[in-house]
């Protein structure tokens, strides 16, 4: 099944490792399990190839995580990456193979054979023409992998296709005319937080029973759902009437308002938020949200990776989310989690 569906070419390096681990105790061979395991690779092969390339390159250098740098073009991306522990066996060689294969899958070239990477480790110029890369090794075991112009252009095009564009928040900024056929999530710059992301983010928040929690731009209430299960007193603010109604229908307390126009009240223990991703608009939301916290209160915000790597507008503790964390919500923009604390009273 794995070979017949050409998963070796389509799947990312991380997915291949997961398949290998799963084969130690394989699931029963049923239609349901086949659909769950391979369905997305069949329905969206190109999307998986692009995600695989993004995963590999985002691990190499923060610049590859930046939507802003990718949008600039090849001049915004590194011309080389540094690889450690390069030898005939081990982690460094595997990482090199992942880079070559992610690029080959996008370029529709044959995947790199073991013999090819072995020769490349000995002769760093051997793949300059065939694959557009050069390797310079050093005595300390490190290597510098250089990308030729055509290879760098393909990397840029692949990442640009995968990340797509983030559009303005038309609910809170100046309205723009909707384009026919554009998804609602993109028209309104609304990217609901996937359940897996909600779970991952809240695992590090430590909300206690009875604490007051605010979720600005709460949407349909996905964070509110999970916060309620912790026994906290949660309040949401949402500008869109339809989404506010959805959250209220589930029993949540939601104020229908533009969050940036609300008057801060410093009586919340936590703020958990997923503000608009467009441009640097998120910073206004975060700075306003801090004003709602009690002294020592904690803010947790999901932000575009550009907030961490490019803009420098906010300072706190950062933790990047996996590549493609918001794919099911309509965007492949890389995301990160910012944690900040309100200043203690003087």
Establish if 173 belongs to a structural domain.
Answer: no
List, for residues 274-310, the tens digit of each pLDDT value. Answer: 998 877 889 999 999 999 999 999 999 999 999 999 8
Burial class (CB in 10 A: 0-12, 13-18, 19+), 63: middle
Average pLDDT, the chain: 85
pLDDT for the residue 9: 74
Burial class (CB in 10 A: 0-12, 13-18, 19+), 233: middle
DSSP state of 259: G
List, for residues 72-91, the tens digit of each pLDDT value. Answer: 667 778 888 888 888 777 77
- The CATH number covering residue 291 comes to 3.40.50.150
List, for residues 212-262, the tens digit of each pLDDT value. Answer: 999 999 999 999 999 999 999 999 999 999 999 999 999 999 999 999 999
Is residue 309 classed as helix, strand or coil in its secondary structure?
Answer: helix
Task: Kindly state whether residues 139 and 283 are assigned to the same domain.
Answer: no
- How far apart (Å, rounded) are the C-alpha atoms in residues 76 and 225? 40
CA 169, chain centre distance (Å) = 19
Please state the length of the chain: 346
Residue 140 contacts by C-beta under 8 Å, 6 or more apart in sequence? none
The residue among 124 and 172 whose pLDDT is bigger is: 124
Does position 171 have pLDDT exceeding 80, yes or no?
no
- Containing structural domain, residue 194: 185-341
List, for residues 27-61, the tens digit of each pLDDT value. Answer: 888 888 888 877 878 888 888 888 888 888 888 88
pLDDT for the residue 188: 42
Task: Kindly state whether residues 86 and 196 are assigned to the same domain.
Answer: no
- How far apart (Å, rounded) are the C-alpha atoms in residues 313 and 42? 41
Task: Kindly state whether residues 158 and 195 are assigned to the same domain.
Answer: no
CA 178, chain centre distance (Å) = 26
Task: Kindly state whether residues 73 and 31 are assigned to the same domain.
Answer: yes
- How far apart (Å, rounded) are the C-alpha atoms in residues 283 and 14? 33
Establish if 174 belongs to a structural domain.
Answer: no
Is residue 341 classed as helix, strand or coil in its secondary structure?
Answer: strand
Domain count, the chain: 2
- How far apart (Å, rounded) are the C-alpha atoms in residues 76 and 168? 23
The residue among 199 and 45 whose pLDDT is bigger is: 199
Helices (H) and strands (E) in the chain, counts: 14, 10
Task: Kindly state whether residues 35 and 154 are assigned to the same domain.
Answer: yes
């Amino acid at each position: 099944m794995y070979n017949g569906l050409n998963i070796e070419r389509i799947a990312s390096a991380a997915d291949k490792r997961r398949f290998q681990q799963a084969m130690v105790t394989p699931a029963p061979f049923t239609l349901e399990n086949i659909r769950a395991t391979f369905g997305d690779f069949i329905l969206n092969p190109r999307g998986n190839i692009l995600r695989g390339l993004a995963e590999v390159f985002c691990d190499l250098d923060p610049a590859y995580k930046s939507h802003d740098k990718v949008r600039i073009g090849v001049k915004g991306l590194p011309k080389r990456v540094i690889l450690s522990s390069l030898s005939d066996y081990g982690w460094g060689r595997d990482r090199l193979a992942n880079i070559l294969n992610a690029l080959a899958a996008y370029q529709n070239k044959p995947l790199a054979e073991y013999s090819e990477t072995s020769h490349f480790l000995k002769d760093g110029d051997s793949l300059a023409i065939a694959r557009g890369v050069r390797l310079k090794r050093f005595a300390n075991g490190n290597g510098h992998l250089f990308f030729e112009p055509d290879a760098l252009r393909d990397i840029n095009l692949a990442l640009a296709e995968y990340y797509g564009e983030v559009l303005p928040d038309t609910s809170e900024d100046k309205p723009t005319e909707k384009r026919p056929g554009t998804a609602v999530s993109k028209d309104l710059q609304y990217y609901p937080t996937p359940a897996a992301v909600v779970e991952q983010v809240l695992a590090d928040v430590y909300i206690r029973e009875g604490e007051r929690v605010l979720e600005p731009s709460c949407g349909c209430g996905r964070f509110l759902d999970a916060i309620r299960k912790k026994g906290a007193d949660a309040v949401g603010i949402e500008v869109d009437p339809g989404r506010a109604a959805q959250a209220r229908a589930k029993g949540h307390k939601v104020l229908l308002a533009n969050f940036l126009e609300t008057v801060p009240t410093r009586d919340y223990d936590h703020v958990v938020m997923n503000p608009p991703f467009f441009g640097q608009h998120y910073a206004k939301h975060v700075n306003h949200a801090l004003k709602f916290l009690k002294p020592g209160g904690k803010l947790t915000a999901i932000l575009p990776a550009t907030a961490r790597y490019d803009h420098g507008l906010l300072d706190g503790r950062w933790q990047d989310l996996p590549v493609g964390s918001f794919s099911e919500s309509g965007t492949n923009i890389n995301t990160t989690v910012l944690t900040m604390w309100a200043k203690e009273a003087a």
